[in-house]
Amino acid sequence: MRIKAAIELDPKNAPMNEALALPVSVPVRRRIDHVACTIELDARGLEPPEPLVRVLAALDSLHTGDSLLLKIDCRPLPLYRILDRNGYVYEERQGSDSLFGITIRLRGSA
């Protein structure tokens, strides 16, 4: 995570410490930029409903622009219905080290 802080100071309006000829306080505006990330969740070999429970817990931590990569050995049809109803999009692919690799994002995220 990258944090940027910008210091804004207008010397004409800042109160001055007469002895030091310096501003008494410096207003600081902080802005936190979220860097998009991919969370990888390996659900291979887990018995139902554990994969679904873990995916739903991971989705709670997604921010706009983030994605979840789910590695799983079966096609999770109940999960797809939940995603559709709750504003997520997904892309299913043949996995390289699992049967399926499913990328999940918030709808409208890049």
pLDDT single digits (tens) 36-65: 899 999 999 999 999 999 999 999 989 889
Domain with CATH 3.30.110.40 in the chain: 38-106
Q: Are 25 and 15 in contact (CB under 8 A)?
A: yes
pLDDT at residue 38, as a whole number:
94
pLDDT at residue 13, as a whole number:
52
Q: What is the CA radius of gyration of the chain?
A: 23
pLDDT at residue 12, as a whole number:
53
| Distance from C-alpha of 1 to C-alpha of 34, rounded to nearest angstrom | 6
Q: Are 76 and 52 in contact (CB under 8 A)?
A: yes
pLDDT at residue 95, as a whole number:
75
Q: What is the pTM of this model?
A: 0.66
Parts of the chain with a pLDDT under 50:
1-10, 17, 22
Q: Which CATH class is domain 38-106?
A: alpha beta
